[in-house]
Structure 1
Amino acid sequence: MMTRCSSSALVLSATLSLAGLASADVAAVPYDLREGDILFHGTGGQQADAVRGATDSPYTHCGVVLSDKGRLLVLEAVQPVSITTVEEFEKRSKAGTFHARRLKSAPDAAAVEKAKAWGKKQVGLNYDTGFKWGDDKLYCSELVWKVFHEAGVKLCEPRRFHDYKLDHPDVKPLIAQRYGSADKLPKNEPVVAPSDLAESDLLVEVPRVEKK
């Protein structure tokens, strides 16, 4: 999941390769992804609009990169929890929203394998449309948070529903649809949004490497 394979030389090389590129061109340069990286992007639809409104963030979905027989894939909570390709994940991204973050310090190999095994066991589990904190169903950022927690890494403190902008016009209809009314929303329920993970102090941007 989070094995080390980059070095300061690689980061320097990536920086030099990107020097002089216009900002609009940077996104076209691929990330140097590895197992354990977290992928973020913005998607379309009512739920994505509500997440954007509640968090003031372009990120509405996330997944974690896994390695399988030398191929990089993405574990994500959709309906159901699934493993997809990096290419498919990126293809679903709204323009300019696909980003990759990485732990500054990776856990040891045993912790990595424990987390990876737990994550794979969640495949097939239903998506949690109510954003509850239980393990019977999972939503995207909850899955990623718990995978890392299995490795002994707490990416961020879970927040509560009342910490987000619940009065946003894109949020209110989703609350009514999922809970019946705002009064029935469990406002003290632990919750993590994709933006909470993206802003973790434990993460850095994954370097981009221009391929020849």
Structure 2
Amino acid sequence: MKKQTILFSVLGLTILVCILGLANARKTEDTFTILTEKVLETTKDGDIIFQSSQSPQCEAIRIATNSKFSHCGIIYIINGKQYVYEAVQPVKLTLLKDWISGGEGQKYVVKRLKNASQVLTSATIKKMKAYGQQFNKKDYDLYFEWSDSKIYCSELVWKIYKNGAGIELCPLEKLKHFNLKDPKVRAVLKERYGNNIPLNEDVVAPSQIAGSAVLETVIDTY
């Protein structure tokens, strides 16, 4: 009888844990659904979205730029659906909800040009998309070079705004001006460049665009 009581207690506890786990999972899923619906309702063509993810490179970018962001892209609305045009491997369009779910903690920030309603006309957006099309399916630039042969995420966003809309989101910066002394940053640099780090290379980081004076925050889930 005692063994049966213990067995039923353990079984009951196991069931309770499973129920609580399912409840928490549903709560997390419901929260993600609400946030996704919010961003789908709020975002516009040309908005810029930021997030971070877990990888040695992403962590190094956050440390080097003193920012919570390591990745960004441009939101495009195509046939009524929201996508993120992003430089990964390779450059591609990703459904917005999938892009959000791939970020660390599914957190993100959406920013918009302060005078977007006047400046980002349908004709301008069309020019931006047409200019950015040349990068579609190009390789991700692991070396962060300021060229068009390969491209990285914030470079893609910056160039589309600059050459497609005539808007400079932020000044470029030299690589040497970032925090390169941290061991994790140095390890990534060593792996990529060996002893030939291009300290004078022009670069633009997600943090620079996120801090742009010409942008305003539309959504912040952090």
TM-score, normalised relative to structure 2: 0.77
Alpha-carbon distance, 1:115 to partner = 1.1
Alignment deviations for residues 120-157 of structure 1 (CA, whole Å, 9 cap, x no partner): 22110000000000001000000000011121110000
Give the Cα–Cα distance (whole angstroms) in 2 for the partners of residues 116 and 207 of structure 1: 23
Alpha-carbon distance, 1:91 to partner = 0.6
Give the Cα–Cα distance (whole angstroms) in 1 for the partners of residues 113 and 126 of structure 2: 16
Instruction: Please show how residues 1-212 of structure 1 align to structure 2 within 5 Å.
Output: 29=35, 30-31=38-39, 32-95=42-105, 97-106=107-116, 107=119, 108-150=121-163, 151-181=165-195, 184-207=196-219
Secondary structure of the residue aligned to 1:52 is helix
Kindly indicate whether the alpha-carbon contact (under 8 Å) linking 2:109 and 2:219 is maintained by their aligned counterparts in 1: no
Secondary structure of the residue aligned to 2:105 is coil
Give the Cα–Cα distance (whole angstroms) in 2 for the partners of residues 89 and 96 of structure 1: 9
Alpha-carbon distance, 1:37 to partner = 0.6
Match of 2:6 in 1: none
**Structure 2 unaligned spans of 5+:** 1-30
Aligned residues: 182
Give the Cα–Cα distance (whole angstroms) in 2 for the partners of residues 169 and 96 of structure 1: 27
Kindly indicate whether the alpha-carbon contact (under 8 Å) linking 1:129 and 1:139 is maintained by their aligned counterparts in 2: yes
Q: 1:187 to 1:78 in 2, by over 3 A?
A: same
Kindly indicate whether the alpha-carbon contact (under 8 Å) linking 1:179 and 1:185 is maintained by their aligned counterparts in 2: yes
The structure having more radius of gyration, on CA atoms, is 2
Alignment deviations for residues 178-205 of structure 1 (CA, whole Å, 9 cap, x no partner): 1012xx1111111000000000011111
Give the Cα–Cα distance (whole angstroms) in 1 for the partners of residues 166 and 157 of structure 2: 13
Kindly indicate whether the alpha-carbon contact (under 8 Å) linking 1:64 and 1:74 is maintained by their aligned counterparts in 2: yes
Determine what percentage of the aligned residue pairs are the same residue.
Answer: 37
Alpha-carbon distance, 1:111 to partner = 2.8
Higher relative contact order (CA 8 A, sep 6+): 1
**Structure 1 unaligned spans of 5+:** 1-24
Higher helix proportion: 2
Alignment deviations for residues 75-101 of structure 1 (CA, whole Å, 9 cap, x no partner): 000000010010111011112741100
Alpha-carbon distance, 1:163 to partner = 1.1
Kindly indicate whether the alpha-carbon contact (under 8 Å) linking 1:58 and 1:97 is maintained by their aligned counterparts in 2: no
Secondary structure of the residue aligned to 1:39 is strand
Q: CA RMSD in A?
A: 1.9
Give the Cα–Cα distance (whole angstroms) in 2 for the partners of residues 207 and 190 of structure 1: 29
Aligned amino acid, residue 84 of structure 1: T
Superposed structure 1 runs of 4+ greater than 3 Å apart: none
Give the Cα–Cα distance (whole angstroms) in 2 for the partners of residues 123 and 114 of structure 1: 15
Give the Cα–Cα distance (whole angstroms) in 2 for the partners of residues 96 and 124 of structure 1: 25
